[in-house]
Amino acid sequence: MGFFGSSTVTKCKECGTDLGTVERLERHKEKAHTKHDAKCKACGTVFESFEKLRKHKKKCK
């Protein structure tokens, strides 16, 4: 869409985040929505994605 609107090409279909470029979108999808073993350094809990770990970290101290 250009400068005045958000492009659907760079918007994540899973969470709605607009990343601005296709490269950033691809990196975001890999980190945030692909299943990985993401371990919390504070408590050792393992999560299936970095997104779930990120949400957990807000509560874990």
Q: Answer yes or no: is pLDDT of 49 > 50.
A: yes
| Domain hosting residue 12, numbered range | 8-61
Counted domains in the chain: 1
Of 30, 56, 31, 58, the closest CA to residue 44 belongs to 56
Q: Among the listed ranges 13-17, 27-31, 39-43, 48-52, which one has the minimum average pLDDT value?
A: 48-52
Residue 1's pLDDT band, with cuts at 50, 70 and 90, is very low
Domain membership flag for residue 51: yes
Instruction: Name the range with the highest mean pLDDT among 1-5, 19-23, 27-31.
Output: 19-23
Q: Answer yes or no: is pLDDT of 5 > 60.
A: no
Q: What's the predicted TM-score (pTM) here?
A: 0.53
Domain membership flag for residue 55: yes
Domain membership flag for residue 1: no
- 53 and 47 in contact (C-beta within 8 Å)? yes
Amino acid at 48: E
